[in-house]
Amino acid sequence: MENGGSRQAGMAELQEVQITEEKPLLPGQTPEAAKTHSVETPYGSVTFTVYGTPKPKRPAILTYHDVGLNYKSCFQSLFQFGDMQEIIQNFVRVHVDAPGMEEGAPVFPLGYQYPSLDQLADMIPCILQYLNFSAIIGVGVGAGAYVLSRYALTHPDTVEGLVLINIDPNAKGWMDWAAHKLTGLTSSISEMILGHLFSQEELSGNSELIQKYRNIITHAPNLDNIELYWNSYNNRRDLNLERGGAVTLKCPVMLVVGDQAPHEDAVVECNSKLDPTQTSFLKMADSGGQPQLTQPGKLTEAFKYFLQGMGYMASSCMTRLSRSRTASLTSAASIDGNRSRSRTLSQSSESGTLPSGPPGHTMEVSC
Ligand code: BEZ
């Protein structure tokens, strides 16, 4: 009995362990040199870091991080993942830090008016102008996904594609506000932000990853700045996306959410508002709030197929990645019942997934 009991306890412990994919850079695969710049904009200065060199006739990959993070804590695991190198060597990357989130940022003075998310989006043209870049593929998480979507709505001609992780395109309703205010009575800002980034299961599991991010956020010297970005996120306007309506994203979009993420419902709803012929929906199995941190390999593979669908990364260029995996579409049905057009890509933990080809088509690929 005792043995059975302790075995059961052991299994319960085992189930709570979240496996994080690891595949560091190979010897010889060194990270490219980075150059950090700041530009003045009508809404204050913004800092961004450029990796790689511009490639002729190719857009830049531009990232925007979520609240509580900066470009490194949000995207380093993904962009330094071994398999990602084959993709990103073909693109220059611009990683934006929201104002006051860059490493070593001083705390804003009391009374400082932090930009709204719409104003953060309006800073992006200043960055592109400074770099003389005319087109981007945006990769955003949470608040950053909202900022990039807003930018894409106002500057559709400059956005070739969007990867939106954990996007919530809706303004907070009064029910959300009531819940937010109640939580605020008992929780610190850092706990509220952790609850935005990770699921309750992940937080109570307290894995090394959670300990790391709890530590980063709780002890951030710029926590007051983080609170300002958090407030802007909570005060966001509705993007007013409407399928077939005037306000819609025109470029190919890959929506990504973990199947245990706090924002799963919001992303599902967002999918229902986008053009199904332009949208792929990737729900990642066994994944919590930050799939780019915990499942960079699967996300890299999805990103590869997304780029291929846009006409980049011909399969002949994809040497190691292409040969090392078999991709198969495990589920091809839109969650809103429009089976014929948009794609839902549910990933199982064992198999890779994802079709190539333009969004709106379903394909099974073995490469
Ligand atoms: C990049 O190569 O784009 C990258 C490297 C380190 C951190 C984030 C991004």
- Cα of 124 vs centre of ligand 1, distance in Å, is 19
- Cα of 25 vs centre of ligand 1, distance in Å, is 12
Q: Give the number of other CB atoms < 10 A from CB of residue 5.
A: 9
**Rounded distance between C-alpha atoms, residue 68 and residue 78, angstroms:** 17
Ligand 1 mutation target, pool 91, 93, 103, 139, most atoms within 8 A of CB:
93
**Rounded distance between C-alpha atoms, residue 18 and residue 256, angstroms:** 19
- Cα of 88 vs centre of ligand 1, distance in Å, is 9
Contact assessment for residue 298 and residue 291, using Cβ atoms and an 8 Å cutoff: yes
- Cα of 238 vs centre of ligand 1, distance in Å, is 31
Residues lining ligand 1, Cβ inside 6 A: 31-32, 51, 72, 75-76, 79-80, 88, 93, 95
**Rounded distance between C-alpha atoms, residue 23 and residue 310, angstroms:** 26
- Cα of 10 vs centre of ligand 1, distance in Å, is 38
- Predicted TM-score (pTM) of this structure: 0.85
Residuewise pLDDT in 10s, the chain (367 residues): 334 444 444 444 444 445 677 766 666 666 678 999 999 999 999 999 999 999 999 999 999 999 999 999 999 999 999 999 999 999 999 999 999 999 999 999 999 999 999 999 999 999 999 999 999 999 999 999 999 999 999 999 999 999 999 999 999 888 888 888 888 877 899 999 999 999 999 999 999 999 999 999 999 999 999 999 999 999 999 999 999 888 999 999 999 999 999 999 999 999 999 999 999 999 999 899 999 999 999 999 999 999 999 999 876 555 444 444 433 323 322 222 233 345 566 554 433 344 445 554 322 222 2
C-alpha distances in Å from residue 333, one per residue of 185, 219, 308, 330: 42, 44, 21, 10
Contact assessment for residue 152 and residue 136, using Cβ atoms and an 8 Å cutoff: no
- Cα of 246 vs centre of ligand 1, distance in Å, is 35
Specify the residue with its C-alpha closest to ligand 1, atom 1: 79
Residue 71 Cα: closest atom of ligand 1: 8
Q: Please report the domains of the chain, with CATH numbers, ordered by start residue.
A: 34-311 (3.40.50.1820)
Specify the residue with its C-alpha closest to ligand 1, atom 8: 76
Specify the residue with its C-alpha closest to ligand 1, atom 6: 76
Specify the residue with its C-alpha closest to ligand 1, atom 7: 76
Torsion sign (Cα): 75, 350, 314, 279: negative
- Cα of 97 vs centre of ligand 1, distance in Å, is 13
